[in-house]
Amino acid sequence: MAADTPAPTAAEPLIQVEKFNYAYGDNQVLFDVDLNMHSEDVMALIGPSGCGKSTLLRSINRINDLVDSARVVSGKIKIDGIDLYAPNVDVISLRRNVGMVFQKYNPFPRSIFENAVYGLRVAGIKDRHDLEEAAERSLRSAALWDEVKDRLHEVATGLSGGQQQRLCIARAIALQPRILLMDEPCAALDPIATARIEELIHQLRGQYTFVIVTHNMEQAKRIADRTAFFYKGRLIEEDDTMNIFNHPRDPQTEAYITGRLT
Amino acid sequence: MNPAPTNDNPFAGDNSGIQQRETAARWALRVGSYIVVLITLAIMLHIFVKGAPVVFQAKWPFVNTQFLTELPATLHVIEDQQGNHIETDVNGADAVKKKLGEDFRAEKTISYSGGGILGPIVGTALLVVVSVGVALFLGVACAIYLSEYAKHGKFLEMVRLAILNLAGVPSVVFGLFGLGAFVLTAPTFVDVPAERSVFSIPLGFTTLSFEGWDTCVLSGGFTLAFVILPVIITASEQCLQAVPQGFRETSMALGATRWQTIRYSVLPFATPGILTSSILGIARAAGETAPIMFTAALAFKDKLPWQKDLPPLPADASIFAHWEQSVSRFLGIFTESVQALPYHIYTLAAKIPQNEYAERAQYGSVFVFLVLVASLAASSVLLRKRLRAKYRW
């Protein structure tokens, strides 16, 4: 189990998941998950559909609160040692610090500019100059600026799929979060667009802490520092990505990465 | 029955019972659909053939302006010895009789069938404005709450059941409810409470008295609002649900509050549908007779709601006094009882002796009514198209 693995760095982990149990109504989907994620790492969560990896991801910014029946059964998720589910935590400021990119690229049917600054607008920033600056900064970071700088005020849904997904990344990093959660960010994209997103993650590595859910094991190998394998709501194994794929300790992990477990 | 196929085509139909039943079912369904179309066409054609000649005319300006711009009046028909009929109003009758002299044979009067239908048109318009305003506010608020805030559970099911039941209430029940609630007991500010006031709360400078609003546009509009409320809630909720869940999640993930999410990322995309449904609500509100019978509508009224006898202002009245009187004249529109198209049609068709003149007025009114409602429906389709083009995802 991952909990037995000593942390590779001495530093305090940024995200600590402790004995986390999570359920939709009576249907428990996460069991006693213990997982540490370190600052500036890229962590990949892998596992077959329904294994709970997306639920864990969506619990980190508490976006799963939107699901009526979802509830924490027991355990904690901490960022910087602060329990996210404590009553005094404001989900709004949590989400400003923990950005999220979804599987289906879904820019709002508004202009590219309005998409990029959405998070800032709802945070109450009105100054046109500040907004323009932030839009340029985040679009540059997302490697999209050169492609869209002449049509910032055209509707975002006119972009290609890959561009739309990079716009979603730009939109998330406009708020300068510390953590970026990505829920299968390339699942709806073609291989070229996927490559560009992966390249982008490489460029942004070190600026943000990435937690990425992926079904694509090659992708996990390419982008992740560490990989956690989930099966049936339990964390089976968590280790350096190379170790997971080359020397898995658990037979279930091995079965999954060799395609014998679905 | 065909004989067994002689060639050896394995796909040849054998015209079995299954195939015959298929053909029969298809034709039965097709005939049913044709009948529906035929009935709709028959209604439209009937109203058009009988009503259009009343509203349109061969001479310039091709539209019977009198019918659209005058209040209903009693029609006087005077017959001369040659059997010619001369139509006139109450003021013209004596002059015509004098002119005919010996030639005069008989005079008939037909209530409400002369003049025009401006009064009912204005009344219906006012009722629609009030009812749609009230119903949109309440309905959209309720739909947003149900769709965006309320959690699935017992309460939500109860509310939905209530809305469903509201939709099933016969409209005359709404009429009686409106009579009891709005005409007789709704709260209003008065200086001295009326005798019939249910109870009153003195507030010092004025008194809040539950003595009702009387028969007026406001009472009728509120009653109609409850009739169309279920339509608006249900339709609005569907439109809200049609907005992708991803918009909400993304917006919230970017640190928006629920209300910001609704305001910027849900409502704008649901508005086209909500407006469409509310325009259909207008058509429904305009067409209801029973809810306004006891609450707003009169069979006959010889004034428009803003034609009120207010005391004339003194010659040196301040501009403020003029302004105040204009405001009270405007607000007074909503505390007047009115004529309304559906009730006017009912009166013409059921409350006066039937003859060709009454029938003419009936079909003219129905034709105008149908055109108004149809143009509302058409505008809702256009509006939806334009807004859809603007907000696509």
* Most A-contacting residue of B151, B245, B248, B254 (CB-CB within 10 A), to test interface: B254
User: What is Dmax (Cα atoms) for chain A?
Assistant: 56
**B288, B268, B283, B287: which is closest to B381 by C-alpha?**
B283
Hey, which residues does A227 pair with through a beta bridge? A44, A239
In single-letter form, the type of residue at position B390 comes to K
CB contacts of B253 in chain A (<8 Å) are 61, 63, 95, 99-100, 102, 172
pLDDT for the residue B209? 83
CB contacts of B269 in chain A (<8 Å) are 109
* B192 shares its domain with B245: yes
Residue B275 CA to residue B390 CA, distance in Å, equals: 14
Q: Number of residue pairs across A and B with CB atoms under 8 Å?
A: 71
The string of pLDDT tens digits covering residues B57-68 is 777 777 777 777
Domains of chain A: 2-257 (3.40.50.300)
**Residue in B244, B256, B260 closest to A106 by CB:** B244
**How far lies B204's CA from each of B185, B190, B200, B207, in Å?**
21, 11, 12, 7
* B25 shares its domain with B160: no
**Residue in B152, B249, B391 closest to A109 by CB:** B391
* B46 shares its domain with B90: no
Predicted confidence band at B7 (pLDDT cuts at 50, 70, 90)? low
Predicted confidence band at B285 (pLDDT cuts at 50, 70, 90)? confident
ipTM computed for the complex: 0.88
Predicted confidence band at A121 (pLDDT cuts at 50, 70, 90)? very high
Closest residue of chain B to A59, computed from CA coordinates: B253
Let me know if residue B63 belongs to a domain.
no
The string of pLDDT tens digits covering residues B88-100 is 777 777 777 777 7
* B109 shares its domain with B176: no
* B35 shares its domain with B138: no
pLDDT for the residue B6? 60
> If you average pLDDT over every residue of chain B, what do you get?
84
Percent of chain A with pLDDT over 90: 64
* B284 shares its domain with B374: yes
Predicted confidence band at A138 (pLDDT cuts at 50, 70, 90)? very high
Let me know if residue B4 belongs to a domain.
no
Could you say which of B92, B115, B138 is where a domain stops?
Answer: B115
Least confident of A143-152, B158-167, B332-341: B332-341
**Residue in B246, B256, B260 closest to A106 by CB:** B246
Res. B392: pLDDT tops 70: no
Res. A4: pLDDT tops 70: no
Least confident of A44-48, A176-180, B45-49, B93-97: B93-97
User: Both tokens of residue B301?
Assistant: 């009224």
Let me know if residue B5 belongs to a domain.
no
Let me know if residue B60 belongs to a domain.
no
Let me know if residue B1 belongs to a domain.
no
* B31 shares its domain with B168: no
Match 């509201």 to its residue by tokens.
Answer: B166
Residue B216 CA to residue B219 CA, distance in Å, equals: 5
pLDDT for the residue A262? 61
Mean pLDDT across B224-251:
91
Res. B177: pLDDT tops 50: yes
pLDDT for the residue A3? 45
User: Both tokens of residue A116?
Assistant: 């990029």
**A71 touching chain B per CB within 8 A:** no
Please, what is the end-to-end C-alpha distance for chain A in angstroms?
Answer: 20
Predicted confidence band at B5 (pLDDT cuts at 50, 70, 90)? low
* B259 shares its domain with B140: yes
**What's the structural domain count of chain B?**
3
DSSP string of B227-294, one letter each residue: HHHHHHHHHHHHHHHHS-HHHHHHHHHTT--HHHHIIIIIHHHHHHHHHHHHHHHHHHHHH--HHHHT
Q: Which of residues 187-216 of A touch B (CB under 8 A)?
A: none
Predicted confidence band at B3 (pLDDT cuts at 50, 70, 90)? low
DSSP E strands in chain B: the ranges are: 72-80, 85-88, 104-115, 187-190, 200-202, 207-210
* B160 shares its domain with B279: yes
Least confident of A100-104, A221-225, B41-45, B375-379: B375-379
**How far lies A204's CA from each of A61, A122, A141, A212, A221, in Å?**
20, 25, 8, 13, 17
Mean pLDDT across A166-180:
92
Mean pLDDT across B340-358:
84
Q: Among A181-195, A201-215, B28-42, B156-170, name the most confident range.
A: B28-42
CB contacts of A175 in chain B (<8 Å) are 254-255
**8 Å CB contact between B240 and B143:** yes
User: Both tokens of residue B268?
Assistant: 């704008």
Match 């509050």 to its residue by tokens.
Answer: B257
Closest residue of chain B to A173, computed from CA coordinates: B254
Give burial (CB, 10 Å; 0-12/13-18/19+) of A111: middle
Residue B196 CA to residue B211 CA, distance in Å, equals: 6
Q: Do B255 and A172 touch (CB under 8 A)?
A: no
Higher pLDDT, A223 or A3: A223
CB contacts of A122 in chain B (<8 Å) are 251, 254-257, 260, 264
Q: How many helices (H) and strands (E) does chain A have?
A: 11, 10
Higher pLDDT, B386 or A251: A251
Q: Do A92 and B391 touch (CB under 8 A)?
A: no
* B47 shares its domain with B153: no
The string of pLDDT tens digits covering residues A77-112 is 999 989 999 999 999 999 999 999 998 888 998 899
Residue B276 CA to residue B266 CA, distance in Å, equals: 16
Res. A6: pLDDT tops 70: no
Mean pLDDT across B186-200:
80
Q: How far does the CA of residue B149 sit from the closest CA of chain A (Å)?
A: 10
**A118 touching chain B per CB within 8 A:** yes
Let me know if residue B224 belongs to a domain.
yes
Q: Do B246 and A104 touch (CB under 8 A)?
A: yes
Mean pLDDT across A34-63:
91
pLDDT for the residue B259? 93
Let me know if residue B61 belongs to a domain.
no
Let me know if residue B3 belongs to a domain.
no
Q: Do A175 and B253 touch (CB under 8 A)?
A: no
Per residue in B99-132, is it b (16+ CB within 10 Å) or e — as a string? ebeeebeeeeebbbbbbbbbbbbbbbbbbbbbbb
Res. B368: pLDDT tops 70: yes
* Most B-contacting residue of A103, A106, A164 (CB-CB within 10 A), to test interface: A106
Least confident of B98-107, B125-134, B142-151, B224-233: B98-107
Residue B177 CA to residue A201 CA, distance in Å, equals: 64
* B199 shares its domain with B340: yes
Residues 6+ apart with CB under 8 A from A53: A45, A46, A47, A213, A228, A230
| Phi and psi based region of residue B15 (left: phi greater than 0; alpha: psi -120 to 50; beta: remaining) | left
**Residue in A96, A102, A175 closest to B250 by CB:** A102
pLDDT for the residue A1? 40
pLDDT for the residue B337? 83
* B298 shares its domain with B348: yes
Q: Which domain holds residue B41?
A: 14-55
**A125 touching chain B per CB within 8 A:** no
Predicted confidence band at B374 (pLDDT cuts at 50, 70, 90)? confident
**What CATH number is associated with residue B349?**
1.10.3720.10
pLDDT for the residue B173? 92
